[in-house]
């Protein structure tokens, strides 16, 4: 059960994830979190570097859906300018939004990765749905109100995994 909180992979940022690497593993699509995964939770728009990352994925036919627990206003304003499909108020770690994203992109769970900065929502949700999960280091050191609580639980889980030798990376 506790292993459902353990990501399959860990990277410093989304920029370490390249279309070439994804394609070599048969991955056709990305389900990604928004806040503190793609940009800081309080930054309204994508950065030029992130826009380039989006374009790079698009050129390589890697589809992207943004799946966020945040509200419609935030997620829509961020995603729409780039023509990226999005699901707001996703209620991660519940599986419904992940299933919806798979159906919308017309891909199987084996052809997708879930990217996110939180163990309790993104990683747990992705793992429960049987999707390869990639944990990123949060873009910002700060968090929104609810996330602050989740981070405390997360720290306990990470310490446990580290003690058991299940993760190698540093904070």
3-state secondary structure of 121: helix
Nearest distance from residue 3's CB to Mg ion, in Å? Answer: 21
Distance (Å, whole) CA 129 – CA 118:
16
- CA dihedral defined by 108, 7, 17, 116, rounded to 10 degrees? 90
Between residues 22 and 120, which has the closer beta carbon with respect to Mg ion? 120
Q: Tell me how far, at minimum, the Cβ of 54 lies from Mg ion, in Å.
A: 17
Q: What is the smallest separation between the CB atom of 147 and Mg ion, expressed in angstroms?
A: 7
Q: Kindly state the tokens that stand for 28.
A: 């056709």
Binding site for Mg ion (CB under 5 A): 33, 35-37, 117
Nearest CB to Mg ion, comparing residues 28 and 69: 69
| CA 59 from centroid of its chain's CA atoms | 20
Residue closer to Mg ion (CB basis): 102 or 121: 121
Q: Please state, as a whole number, how many other Cβ atoms lie within 10 Å of the Cβ of residue 22.
A: 21
| CB of residue 129 to Mg ion, shortest distance in Å | 17
Q: Which residues contact 32 (CB under 8 A, 6 or more apart)?
A: 14, 38, 64, 65, 66, 67, 114, 115, 116
Nearer to Mg ion, 7 or 28 (CB): 7
Residue whose token pair is 């030798």: 165
Q: Which is nearer to Mg ion, 29 or 75 (CB)?
A: 75
To Mg ion, the closest distance from the beta carbon of 88 in angstroms equals 13
């Amino acid at each position: 059960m506790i292993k459902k909180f353990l990501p399959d992979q860990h990277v410093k940022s989304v920029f370490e994830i390249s279309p070439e690497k994804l394609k070599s593993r048969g991955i056709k699509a990305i389900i990604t979190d928004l806040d503190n995964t793609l940009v800081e939770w309080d930054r309204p728009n994508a950065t030029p570097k992130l826009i380039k990352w989006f374009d790079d994925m698009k050129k390589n036919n890697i589809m992207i859906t943004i799946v966020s627990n945040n509200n419609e206003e935030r997620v829509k304003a961020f995603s729409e300018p780039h023509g990226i499909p999005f699901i707001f108020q996703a209620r991660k770690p519940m599986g419904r939004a992940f299933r919806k994203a798979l159906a919308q992109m017309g891909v199987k769970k084996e052809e997708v990765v879930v990217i996110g900065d939180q163990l309790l929502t993104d990683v747990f949700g992705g793992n429960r749905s049987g999707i390869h999960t990639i944990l990123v280091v949060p873009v910002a050191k700060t968090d929104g109100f609810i996330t602050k609580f989740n981070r405390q639980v997360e720290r306990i889980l990470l310490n446990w995994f580290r003690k058991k030798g299940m993760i190698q990376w540093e904070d």
